């Protein structure tokens, strides 16, 4: 078997929403389609990949370095020695050939996009949903049929008042979510507290059903001021208060804020994860790690990250990946993570899960089709058709 074509384009997901740090008016993503010579149901097996929101398209890196290395590889270089299939680990080594260690940033996104498409292919060739394949190879042997998901929203945008925020959150509850997340840090603290109280009011007064996200905006003093103001509400978690690499800030915050904290979506390697666990004061009994496989070199690297966590005494249940896409959902169900983020109606058609997937009490069913299950999203497949066919 061999790869016969790799196609890559940039697609827009521009929006007028913003968080405390960036707006999404010029946001785009890299989109990849990999075609093999393996035939299933009369058609070539194809894998699809894209990066999560919040990081821009990486077409330059892919076109100049990552994809030429894959195209130059022989079929034997990419073949799984134990199976008649592609080997994502060998492909990862090829993509990263002649790359210096460190500098985990945009490069990790480029590799993650391709890695997603490769795992989609591997599961399709084995005729299994990816979450089942992962459970069999790297998990307990039994995949979970549903996964916890929460609705991430509460963005700032022009003209959005508290009533509009409440209406948004009521919409998520009507969809079947019982846990939601909202942005903070884009308004003064007093205003954000009013927004938080307004959302808790429609959650039957239960702050544990609400997470808040500062998107790395705060310095230490501001992070502490928010922590003290948030503490009485018993929130689900307080997310990414400061710069993702400011481990001292995170550690200091953990000494003051007793509730759960969350971070990790802007860390891109197992080395970054190890440093966070060593120096960031994260607590394995309550805190959440949000590493996003699509942004951090893909599933191959994510497995290394889980190994680092295990060595540090952390359960995979403390992982709830950022991204809101089906790839992370498959990983969550296959490897026994704590759940997955979801962006209802935002960053379409890349975000979200199968069109007909039942959602109740913040748990969603996994698709039963081979691969990641992208084919269960009609608008995503329509977009791929327009981009490539």
Active-site residue flag, 100: no
Degrees to nearest 5, angle at CA 111 with 18 and 276: 65
Of 387, 351, 352, nearest to 54 by C-alpha is: 351
Tell me the two tokens of residue 357.
């997937």
- For residues 142 and 59, give the distance between their C-alpha atoms in angstroms, rounded to a whole number: 37
Q: Which member of 181, 183, 270, 377 is catalytic?
A: 183
- For residues 373 and 299, give the distance between their C-alpha atoms in angstroms, rounded to a whole number: 16
Q: Tell me how crowded residue 162 is: count the other CB atoms within 10 A of its CB.
A: 14
- For residues 267 and 64, give the distance between their C-alpha atoms in angstroms, rounded to a whole number: 24
Active-site residue flag, 183: yes
Q: Which member of 270, 322, 325, 377 is catalytic?
A: 322
Strand partners, 342: 151
Phi-psi region of 34 (alpha: psi -120 to 50; beta: other; left: phi over 0): beta
Strand partners, 371: 129
Burial category of 227 from C-beta neighbours within 10 Å (exposed 0-12, middle 13-18, buried 19 and up):
buried
For strands 261-263 and 237-239, give the pairing: parallel
What residues contact residue 72 under an 8 Å CB cut-off, 6+ apart? none
Report the catalytic residues: 183, 322
């Amino acid at each position: 078997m061999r790869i016969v074509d790799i196609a890559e384009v940039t697609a827009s997901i521009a929006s007028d929403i913003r968080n405390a740090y960036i707006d999404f008016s010029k946001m785009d993503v890299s989109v990849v389609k990999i075609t093999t010579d393996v035939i299933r149901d009369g058609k070539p097996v194809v894998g699809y990949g894209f990066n999560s929101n919040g990081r821009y398209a990486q077409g330059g890196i892919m076109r100049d370095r990552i994809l030429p290395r894959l195209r130059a590889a022989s079929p034997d270089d990419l073949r799984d020695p134990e199976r008649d299939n592609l080997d994502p680990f060998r492909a990862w080594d090829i993509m990263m050939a002649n790359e210096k260690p460190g500098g985990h940033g945009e490069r990790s996104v480029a590799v993650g996009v391709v890695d997603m498409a490769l795992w989609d292919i591997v599961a399709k060739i084995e005729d299994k949903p990816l979450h089942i394949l992962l459970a069999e190879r790297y998990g307990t042997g039994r995949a979970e049929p549903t996964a916890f998901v929460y609705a991430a929203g509460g963005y700032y945008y022009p003209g959005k008042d508290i009533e509009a925020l409440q209406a948004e959150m009521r919409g998520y509850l009507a969809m079947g979510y019982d846990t939601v997340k909202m942005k903070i840090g884009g308004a003064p603290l007093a205003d954000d507290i009013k927004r938080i109280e307004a959302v808790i009011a429609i959650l039957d007064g239960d702050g544990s059903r609400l997470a808040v996200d500062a998107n790395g905006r705060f310095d230490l003093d501001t992070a502490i001021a928010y922590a003290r103001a948030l503490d009485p509400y018993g929130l689900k978690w307080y997310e990414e208060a400061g710069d993702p690499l400011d481990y001292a800030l995170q550690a200091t915050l953990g000494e003051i804020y007793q509730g759960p904290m969350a971070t990790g979506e802007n860390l891109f390697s197992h080395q970054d994860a190890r440093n966070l666990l060593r120096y960031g004061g994260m607590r394995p009994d309550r805190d959440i790690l949000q590493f996003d496989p699509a942004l951090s070199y893909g599933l191959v690297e994510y497995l290394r990250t889980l190994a680092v966590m295990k060595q540090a005494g952390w359960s995979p249940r403390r992982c709830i990946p950022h991204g809101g896409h089906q790839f992370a959902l498959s990983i969550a169900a296959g490897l026994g993570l704590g759940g997955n983020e979801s962006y209802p109606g935002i960053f379409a058609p890349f975000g979200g899960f199968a069109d007909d997937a039942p959602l109740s009490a913040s748990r969603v069913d996994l698709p039963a089709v081979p691969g990641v299950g992208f084919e269960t999203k009609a608008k995503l497949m329509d977009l791929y058709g327009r981009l490539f066919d």
